[in-house]
Chain A
Amino acid sequence: MWRACQKMDQREAVKMDDILNAGNIPYVSEASVSVEIETEDMTLNIGPQHPSTHGVLRLVAKVDGEKISSVEPVLGYMHRGYEKLAEVRTYPQITTLVNRIDWVSGFANEIPFIAATEKLMEIEAPERAKHIRLILTEMARIASHFVFNGAYALEIGALTPIFLAMEDRERILDLIESVTGGRFHPNFNRIGGIKPAAGAGPTTKKNIQDLPAGFYQETRDAMEKVLDAVERMEDLVGGNEVFKVRTKGVGIISKELAEEYGVSGPILRASGVKFDLRTQTDFLPYDQFEYEIPVGENGDCYDRWYVRLMEMKESAKIILQAIDSMPSGPLQTKVPKVIKVPKGQSYVRTENPKGEMGFYVISEGGLGPYRLKIRTPSFSNISILPVLLEDQLLPDLIAIMGSLDFVLGDVDR
């Protein structure tokens, strides 16, 4: 170490000498030689393997000390080519494929595709099926927001909320599993209704099963616990001054920027736009329940976190109302065994926990769709990253990216 420094000094000394006595340069005193130290940015690879990129997103960031001058996301590490696969499959097979796009909110992905296909075939799911679909969508929303709450606090540095959030989420996933058979990929929707996993015993497969016994009471207890968990999360995470200092006024997304880039869901509502697709959907009975839409004021990280927390409370209230007013009746309308969708095109979008999820089904009357365009919320949500992260600090980059709550399956399809 010491010898290395000595060697460097000699080299420095030699350079200074030939500058000084290079003949034509007049003797210049040391002080007045103001050498502008030319620094160039360090390219930091916040690479596919990084603890807080929600999966395999790579950010090539030009970093000057802590300040980031420019960020360029590199996608494609999770590209599974869903739109190409959809062209090779029949309609029932696509419903199993579709809930793997945003694996955190499994059930909510199936709804837009099923609704689009049902519109094309001009059939309507029975009332009871719609109610059960609504309950499971809201449960998926609560589970997805629990993951966000836990993981976001983890990225800011608080290590406890992730455990408490996961514990509460476990209860919700057990409920979904008791109804559909699968925790993450329920694969519960059929075109024209819902079909629980064909259970045991030879005769049962013929008559379609219904919700398991005791489901109503279990859901009511679970929703009470969700409301307590939301209150506790608000105190533990939101109340903490350091969390407020780290997230208030950080990464502000203006209304115009959000709309121009197609940002949707809680992020759009956090920027002050009171727009929730649930008021637009007619294939799920949202209009029978009253709930308010939480809206943030200035669209910073804190508001995005707070909007999602309040949405969990609203979803719990909706589920409680839906449980009380559950109609009885069949679960599936008459649908031919081999589903052939007539020629036509239809675009349906619903309020996925991450934002607006839409399916544009172009069917030519075959067994599978001719083309299926999948509009996922996270793809547009993170398209504002390069604009948003101009000269922010590195810890803020992590905070802002965390607050966008995206999942790489959604981004790369």
Chain B
Amino acid sequence: MIDISQVMVTAGIVLAFALNGAVIFTILDVKGASWMQRRPGPLHVGLRGFIFPLAEIIKFFQKEDITPTNVDSAVFKWAPAYVLASVFGLFVVVPISPTLVGSDLDLGVFYLLAISSLSTLGVLTAGWSSANKYSLMGGIRAAGQLIAYELPLILAVVGVVIQAETMSLVGIVEKQIEFGLPFVLSGQGLAFLIFMIAATAEMMRVPFDMPIGESELVSGFLTEYSGVRFLIFYIAEYMNMFILCAVASTLFLGGYHVPLLPVEWVNFYGPVVLITKTVFLGFILVLVRWSFPRFREDQLQNLAWKVLIPLALLNILITSIMKVVF
């Protein structure tokens, strides 16, 4: 019998952790972008603009939630929910510290990848049901892109799982602590690169933002959304970015542990270390977003099928050989 209080507490932690992550990354993205472009960014919102995500949320709540006429309203209304659900699901597994984790499934990585592919459904139905040619094209492009980049994401993680011999995320971090070096330095550097590129594509961020290509498709599958539904897509996008960076730092950068610090205190400095690693990865993504133009649709697919997947397979081969040799 699962006791309800335990579930509620975990849900509370996950919710708090997720929403704060989305807020941090929104600030990072918008403020970082404006500094990079020689402008001050949002200023008059309060605290020199740093609480602007709060203002954003309130703005979208008071905006009218338009459902265009000949739209497939059932699907249209529930599409954002799928995307948000798939992103929330990922938070359960990521360990902030050995004890502070939603539930340490021993099939952690498997669960992670299964849930993250649910968002493809949400995006496709959003594009298809908006009865607008531009969002239809945006939705189809999103489907093609997310499925194409699912594969390198999984294959990159397989390398890590082979090296760590366990699927549970806490186990992977323990393995890195015991091994001394985080996986990115001990053999999984290539997998880390592939994972980051595939993660950028999963988040639909530039240079892979074809589904929301503003200059071609007005704003892809998001064109017809406004008000709270657009807010859900908006938060889901930044939460997705936060969680994928958190997963990347647990799998590759050693999770809640830094090689030099003593292991006993891990419960105290664990969360801080994980958050700094995630924010660092997030900053790299922001830097990439504002300095890259956008790929064309077929180049995007070529990169996935002809470059990333062979490299990921090669990485798995090398890891397994190294596994056998040592």
Contacts and interface: CB of A to CB of B under 8 A. Distances in A.
Interface of A: 1, 42, 44, 50-52, 66, 153-160, 163-164, 167, 236-237, 240, 242-243, 245-246, 393-396, 398
Interface residues of B, number: 29
Contacts of A167: 38
A157 B292 contact: yes
A240 B292 contact: yes
A158 to B, nearest CB: 4
A242 B206 CA distance: 11
Given A159-B206, A163-B38, A393 B218 contact: no
Given A44-B133, A163-B38, A52 B216 contact: yes
A157 B291 contact: no
Contact of A66 (B209, B289, B297): B297
Contacts of B294: 156-158, 242, 246, 395
Contact of B291 (A52, A155, A240, A398): A240
A114 B95 CA distance: 74
27 contacts: A1-B75, A42-B133, A50-B218, A51-B214, A51-B215, A51-B218, A156-B293, A157-B207, A157-B209, A158-B206, A158-B290, A158-B293, A159-B289, A159-B290, A160-B36, A164-B37, A164-B38, A167-B38, A237-B293, A240-B291, A240-B293, A246-B293, A246-B296, A393-B296, A395-B213, A396-B296, A398-B216
Contacts of A393: 296-298
A236 B287 CA distance: 13
A160 B290 contact: yes
A155 B213 CA distance: 9
**Chain A contact residues: helix, strand, loop or mixed:** helix
B74 interface: yes
Nearest to A46: B216
A3 to B, nearest CB: 10
B269 interface: no
A154 B39 contact: no
A240 B298 CA distance: 18
A121 to B, nearest CB: 47
B38 A243 contact: no
A397 to B, nearest CB: 8
A236 B298 CA distance: 24
Nearest to B207: A242
Nearest to A153: B293
A50 B216 CA distance: 8
Interface string B28-69: 000001001111000000000000000000000000000000
A157 B293 contact: yes
